[in-house]
């Protein structure tokens, strides 16, 4: 096996708070072990367009607290073609990159897996996405920050909901998973949570709202995951309004504010540990895997498993959210 002297690092797919902390950890760990680091800008696009920048320890000073990714990210549809990946491989060889750390979501791991399988490049993936929907880790980098952002927003909406006896339908991100919605809901004491993993009956939701009102509850917060099968927060609000025309309803879609901002301490710690462990794994000869944390232990999951398996939501927590809202 070729000795690893130069490690490349890139961020790909949707940006997430904490990606900078992960890059920093990759750079500092590599330097500690005597390796050089090349940062690749704009994800897989940078491999095609030769966007390489040398990174030293000082290059990542004061980056740990910054949201987004200073290496920038992109979607690179061409990377799905063998031709583009071969061009990338040529550039990787020309730059003398011996191994790669890919920070991103499941799409990025599909691309990374092909680099391993087609060209034998050692690659380790680091899960960076606010959605927390990746199999093989309890938490993804960015999730905690996104939930905290959503919680702050919902706390503010609660003031208005309460002052005006309103029901707010708040749409949070999460693609086709309800992790952000569930944690936001538990943290804000929302009256109901609508997530794709659990079927919601609009009739039952309306009965529940009526019951709450009879108990003199003056406000209502319904958290709707963006992947909810009943539709968007506005679609759900319209269905409820049809059955309960006297209710004052409002809709707020939090959108991309959830992706930005300074990462929380939890995300910084997670990113630092995973970034460190990704480099150590490469130096130990591991490849084709994502590094994650399960029960506070670092674990490695083959890429194909990480992107093809489905991470289950904790149904017990769904039930607890319901009990605590009564
Ligand atoms: P995320 O990594 O956050 O899931 P995407 O799904 O957009 O984000 O994937 C990021 C990038 O990974 C894509 O723009 C593309 O360059 C690459 N990618 C995704 N799927 C594949 C695939 N099947 N084959 C090769 N590359 C892929």
**How far is the centre of ligand 1, averaged over its atoms, from the C-alpha of 78 (Å)?**
10
- What is the b/e burial string over 194-205, where b = at least 16 CB atoms within 10 angstroms of the residue's CB? bbbbbebeeeeb
**How far is the centre of ligand 1, averaged over its atoms, from the C-alpha of 50 (Å)?**
19
Please identify, by atom number, the ligand 1 atom nearest to the C-alpha of residue 105: 2
- For 15-70, write each residue's pLDDT tens digit: 999 999 999 999 999 999 999 999 999 999 999 999 999 999 999 999 999 999 99
| Integer CA distances (angstroms), 110 to 104, 226, 311, in order | 10, 24, 16
What pLDDT, on the 0 to 100 scale, is given for residue 23? 98
**How far is the centre of ligand 1, averaged over its atoms, from the C-alpha of 220 (Å)?**
38
Tokens 């990787």, residue located: 92
Give the residue whose CA is nearest to atom 8 of ligand 1.
Answer: 13
Give the residue whose CA is nearest to atom 14 of ligand 1.
Answer: 75
**How far is the centre of ligand 1, averaged over its atoms, from the C-alpha of 21 (Å)?**
22
Q: From 49, 99, 52, 95, select the one nearest 71 (Cα to Cα).
A: 52
What pLDDT, on the 0 to 100 scale, is given for residue 215? 82
Confidence of residue 326 (pLDDT cuts 50, 70, 90): confident
Task: Say how far apart CA 38 and CA 34 lie, in whole Å.
Answer: 13
Helices and strands (DSSP H and E) totals, the chain: 11, 11
Give the residue whose CA is nearest to atom 19 of ligand 1.
Answer: 107
Q: Which residues line ligand 1 (CB under 6 A)?
A: 12-14, 44, 75-77, 79-80, 104-108, 110-111, 114, 129
Which of 15, 16, 79, 134 most suits a substitution to test ligand 1, by most atoms within 8 Å of the C-beta? 79
Give the residue whose CA is nearest to atom 2 of ligand 1.
Answer: 105
- 68: which 2 tokens? 């987004």
Answer whether 237's CB lies under 8 Å from 155's CB: no
What pLDDT, on the 0 to 100 scale, is given for residue 98? 98
Confidence of residue 288 (pLDDT cuts 50, 70, 90): very high
Domain with CATH 3.40.50.450 in the chain: 6-142+263-308
Which of 10, 12, 17 most suits a substitution to test ligand 1, by most atoms within 8 Å of the C-beta? 12
Task: Tally Cβ neighbours within 10 Å of residue 241.
Answer: 16
Give the residue whose CA is nearest to atom 6 of ligand 1.
Answer: 107
**How far is the centre of ligand 1, averaged over its atoms, from the C-alpha of 94 (Å)?**
24
Confidence of residue 283 (pLDDT cuts 50, 70, 90): very high
Residues sharing a CB contact under 8 Å with residue 284, sequence separation 6 or more, in sequence order:
none
- Is the dihedral angle over the CA atoms 90, 93, 99, 102 positive or is it negative? negative
Confidence of residue 74 (pLDDT cuts 50, 70, 90): very high
Task: Say how far apart CA 117 and CA 99 lie, in whole Å.
Answer: 13
- For 127-138, write each residue's pLDDT tens digit: 999 999 999 999
What is the DSSP secondary-structure string of 99-139? EEEEEE-HHHHHHHHHHHHHH---EEEEEB-TT---TT-S-
Task: Say how far apart CA 60 and CA 78 lie, in whole Å.
Answer: 30
- Percentage of the chain beyond pLDDT 70 is 100
Residue 1 confidence (pLDDT) above 80 = no
**How far is the centre of ligand 1, averaged over its atoms, from the C-alpha of 259 (Å)?**
18
What pLDDT, on the 0 to 100 scale, is given for residue 184? 98
What pLDDT, on the 0 to 100 scale, is given for residue 170? 98
Residues sharing a CB contact under 8 Å with residue 211, sequence separation 6 or more, in sequence order:
none
Mean pLDDT computed over every residue of the chain: 96
Residue 214 confidence (pLDDT) above 90 = no
- For 246-274, write each residue's pLDDT tens digit: 999 999 999 999 999 999 999 999 999 99
Q: Which residues are catalytic?
A: 131
What pLDDT, on the 0 to 100 scale, is given for residue 216? 80
Task: Say how far apart CA 85 and CA 317 lie, in whole Å.
Answer: 42
What pLDDT, on the 0 to 100 scale, is given for residue 124? 98
Which CATH architecture fits 6-142+263-308? 3-Layer(aba) Sandwich (3.40)
What pLDDT, on the 0 to 100 scale, is given for residue 296? 95
Domain with CATH 3.40.50.460 in the chain: 144-259
Please identify, by atom number, the ligand 1 atom nearest to the C-alpha of residue 75: 14
Give the residue whose CA is nearest to atom 27 of ligand 1.
Answer: 111
CATH code of the domain made up of 144-259: 3.40.50.460
Residue 285 confidence (pLDDT) above 80 = yes
- For 96-137, write each residue's pLDDT tens digit: 999 999 999 999 999 999 999 999 999 999 999 999 999 999
What pLDDT, on the 0 to 100 scale, is given for residue 310? 87
């Amino acid at each position: 096996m070729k000795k690893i002297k130069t490690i490349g690092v890139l961020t790909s797919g949707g940006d997430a708070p904490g990606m900078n902390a992960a890059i920093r950890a990759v750079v500092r760990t590599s330097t500690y072990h005597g390796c050089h680091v090349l940062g690749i800008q704009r994800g897989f696009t940078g491999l095609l367009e030769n966007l390489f920048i040398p990174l030293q320890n000082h290059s990542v000073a004061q980056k740990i607290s910054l949201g987004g990714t200073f290496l920038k990210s992109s979607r690179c549809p061409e990377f799905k073609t063998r031709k583009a990946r071969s061009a990338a491989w040529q550039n990787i060889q020309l730059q003398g990159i011996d191994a790669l750390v890919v920070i991103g979501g499941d799409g990025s791991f599909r691309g990374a897996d092909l680099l391993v399988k087609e060209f034998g490049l050692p690659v380790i993936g680091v899960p960076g996405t606010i959605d927390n929907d990746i199999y093989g880790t309890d938490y993804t980098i960015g999730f905690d920050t996104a939930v905290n952002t959503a919680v702050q927003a919902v706390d503010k909406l609660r003031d208005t909901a309460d002052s005006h006896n309103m029901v707010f339908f708040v749409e949070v991100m999460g693609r086709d998973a309800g992790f952000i919605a569930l944690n936001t809901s538990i943290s804000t004491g929302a009256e109901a949570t609508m997530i794709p993993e659990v079927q919601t009956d609009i009739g039952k939701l309306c009965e529940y709202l009526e019951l709450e009102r009879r108990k003199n509850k003056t406000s209502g917060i319904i958290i709707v995951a963006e992947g909810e099968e009943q539709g968007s927060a506005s679609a759900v609000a319209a269905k409820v309004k049809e059955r309960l025309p006297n209710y004052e309803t409002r809709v707020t879609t939090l959108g991309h504010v959830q992706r930005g901002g300074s990462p929380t301490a939890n995300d910084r710690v997670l990113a630092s540990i995973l970034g460190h462990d990704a480099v150590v794994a490469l130096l130990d000869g591991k490849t084709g895997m994502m590094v994650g944390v399960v029960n506070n232990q670092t674990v490695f999951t083959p890429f194909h498993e990480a992107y093809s398996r489905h991470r289950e939501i904790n149904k017990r927590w769904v039930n607890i959210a319901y009990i605590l809202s009564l």
